[in-house]
Structures are given as C-alpha cells and as structure tokens.
Chains A and B, each alone.
Chain A
Amino acid sequence: MQKRVIFRSAWLPYLLLLPQIAVTLIFFFWPAYQALESSFFIEDAFGFSRDWVGLQNYAELFRDEGYIRSFRTTLVFGLSVAALSLSVALVLAVAANRVLHAATAYRTLLIWPYAVAPALAGVIWYFLMNPSLGIVAYWLKLMGYDWNHYVNGDQALLMVIVAAAWKQVSYNFLFFLAGLQSIPKSMLEAAAIDRAGPMRRFWSITFPLLTPTTFFLLVVNLVYAFFETFSLIHATTEGGPYDSTSILVFRVYNTGFVGQDYGSSAAQSVILMIMVVLMTFFQFRFVERKVNY
C-alpha cells in the first residue's frame, strides 16, 4: 500500500484528460495560436490580403498614449470593482449572519442582481444615471450636485465601477455568508468571555478564518472585472467621455469587432494574455503559500 494517495497508471490520467484536451485544442489553442499569428500581420476584414509586419502592431500600440492610459484605467477599474464588491458583500454577509430570522428575504433580494445579464445591468444603470431622465441623477441634482457622466470622465468611471460591482456583490455575498456560518460559534463565544469587543473579534478571529474565501473571491472578481465587463461598458459609456472608461478588454472588442482590425486586436489580446498570466501566476503562488488549503 502506498503511503501517499497518488495513483499510478500509465494511461488512465491521459484518458481522463482526453475529452478536456480535445475540446480545448479545437476551440481554444488552435484559435489562440491563430490569434497570436495574426498579431504579426496586417490584414483586411475579409481576409484576402495578409502582410507580414513583424512587431509593427505592437509598436503602434505602445506609441499610442491612449493605449498606455488604458492600463491605468483598467487597473483602477479592476481594483475598485473588486474592492467595492468584496467590502459591500462582507458587510452585508456579516449583518445577515447576525439576524438569521430575516435572512431568507434578505438573501433573496441580494442574489437577484446576479441573474441580470451584464448588458442589461448596464442599461438599468444607464437609465438611473441618465442626466435628464435618471432618477439618481435627479436626486443628486436636488442635493446640489451636477451629474453629467457624458462630459465628466470621473463620473463616468464611477458609474461603470458601481454598475459592475453591483452585479458581483450577490455572488460574493453568498460565499461570505457560507464562510461565516461555518465558523464555530464556540470560538467567538470564547473570545467574548475574554472581553474582546465585536470589532476586535471580527478582525482577530472571523476575518482570518475568511481569508481563503476572500482570496478565492478576489481572483474571481478580478477575472470578472478584467474580462467580462466589456458588454457593460459597450452598453453604457462606449469607453467615453474622451477615453476615461476605455478599459483594455473593451479596446480589444472595439478594435476587432467594431473596427475589423484583427491584427491590432490580436496584438492587444496577446498583451492582455501575457499580463494576466503573469498576474495570476503571482497571485496563485502567493495564495497557495499564504493560505493553507
């Protein structure tokens, strides 16, 4: 009998992986390879002519100030979405954990936004914040604050951050709530006997126990903010005003599908891929070391 549970078989693991590998080869690696290849070409939309240009598509991107600014915008956007949705979800989950009797109705309401399609979430927020028709813009005006995200870039960025975070809070909330409910009551009671205040108890006992959940959610939220928000931006600000909400993935979409410029779009995807591979590699290394599974 082996000591560690690691099975040995010459063929079984490959057989287990075969379906997965077949699908990814056909629908991921082959097309991804072609995307990589086309980033070194300039081609017309219909694919008649294809000229090798080496690194020109990349060079053009890095000469473009707008593209460089986009990195900053993306970073601000991604981190803000993750921070906002995680912190709001945590507060809501802590509250739900306390008042268990009302929790069902409460949970029901909070999970709803997750069911709404990203583009439609964009439309709802677009409507709420519309400077002339939107109810929130109207309230802000009553409070003496002039809201017009069509002109003010910071307001526009704030709007898409809130809209993106809004949808994600539901998911985070569920995970935090489940995490909180799995913390043994006895631990908290013991701390209470030691006269530790509620804030102290939260930060010294509850939060550390939630760390694995938090790290997991951080990864999920960042992937969401970086990759799945382009339809939201497309439906609301179209990257504007100026280029204040133009995040990297929106640019990929805009260059490729709206502009039919596949070479540059492919180059942008490749840059995005490299960036995220590095980031995730670092993150997982950090998470796996720091958090004990």
Chain B
Amino acid sequence: MGSFLSQLSQSWGNIGSALVITVEGTIGGAILALVLAFVLGLMALSRFVVVRGVARTIIEFFRGTSLYVQLFWLYFALPVLGFKISSALLCAIIAFGLNFGAYGAEVVRGAINAVPRAQWEGAIALNMSPFQRMRLVILPQAWVAMIPPFNNLLIQLLKSTPLMSLVTIADLTFEAQQLRSATGQTAWSYLFLLVVYFILAYILTLLMNALESVAKARLGRGTGLRGIFRMRPADPTGKSLGAGLAGAGTEIEPVEAANLTSKTMGAGGPGGGGV
C-alpha cells in the first residue's frame, strides 16, 4: 500500500493527462451521439418511408452489433478499405458516437411520441409550421423526458471508455495498468481506477440532474435543487429502469415526469419499437 501511494503521487501528472483523455473520449463521444440521436430519431419519425427505413437500418445495425466489435472494426479493419482515421482517440469517439447515437435515437423518438396528441393539435390550431411545432412546442416538452435516459446512456458511455486502452490510447485504464506494473500492487491499482470511475459517474449524474431541473423549470414544473444529488442508475439498454412499468421511476421522479419517462422508454430498448 505504501509503495502504491508513493508511486501514485509520482505518477500524478500521467494520471492527470490520462483523466483528460478519458474525459475527452466521453465528452466527444457524447456530443457526436447527441447529434446522431436527434438526426436519426427525427428521421425515424419521418412521414417518408424511405427516410424512416434508412434511420431504422442504421439504428438497428449499431444497436445490434457490439460496441467492442464496432470499435475494433473501425480501428483494425477500416484501414484495409483505405480509410485510416487519423488518431485512435478519434476512432474511439466515432465508435462511441455511432453506438450510443443509435440508442439515443430511440430515446428521442420515444420522447417525441410521448408528447400528448393534444399538444400537436394545439400547435396546428395556432397555424404553426411543422418546423415551428417541433421547435417551439414539442421538443421543449420531449427534452425533459429525454434527460434521464440520456443520463443512463452517458454513464454507460463513460463505463465503455476503458475500451480505449485496447486500441493503444493512454486513458485511465491504460495508466492504471502502468501503475500496476510499476508497483506490483494489482488490487490497489484497479480499486483506485474503479473509485475514479465512480466519482466521474457521480459528477456526470449531478450535472445531468442539474440540467433536468433547468429544463423542468422552463416547463413550470421545477423541482428546484431537491433532486440534484440523487444517484441515477446507469442502464445499458438505454431505457429507464423497469422498462415501461407503471411504477418504474416513481421513486426517482415526481409522477408526471416519471410517466412520461416510462412511456418513452417502454417504446425504446434494444431495437426500439419497430417501424
């Protein structure tokens, strides 16, 4: 333990830059995933069967194949086809973005579908254009319902970042392994790594809770700062817990949002609710 601590203090600089890389991978992947989630999610709601078909195919493909395989394919196989992605980190960000973007698309689609029919009709009655309807009426409401499942996906993405160490990126996991070979303190090295990940997950959850509070306050159903410090569980299927259960999430959320969430997520899940 003593040697572990002294080594730890010596490697502090390396660990710092490894942390930056892990965070970069997470944030980069999340931004790409968010963009793809909206693009694919809105496409999946299109009136045109071709657009829907394209979106569904992409969504099902990236949800149906393992993230691990996708990353390895991008890193090892794609160069054979003549495309070499300039850095391994970019490779990882693209893999994260595509995989979690596909899951996120189902969240977007489900949340928009869960906005009550009456809201659409109200917007039509006000003679809004389809774009205005979506931007001014539907999305602000759907957005609130998207945040909890997005948080699940974000934590899931964070937990996938150790994959980066398998494609030569010097992320936290890579650094922990360095620490391990330097000290021979295997258990401590990995425990340290797990604790760092736990803290990162907690910080992300706090941020997402704050975001949710803001979004809710805009809709006039603010819960204030009260819900911010709760720990929201990570969920690899990209659904809220209990998938579509009436009672699901009631412990986590006030009733209104929970209903919305569970409805949203009931339609989601690997593969989503079909065309």
Q: Do A and B come from one complex?
A: no
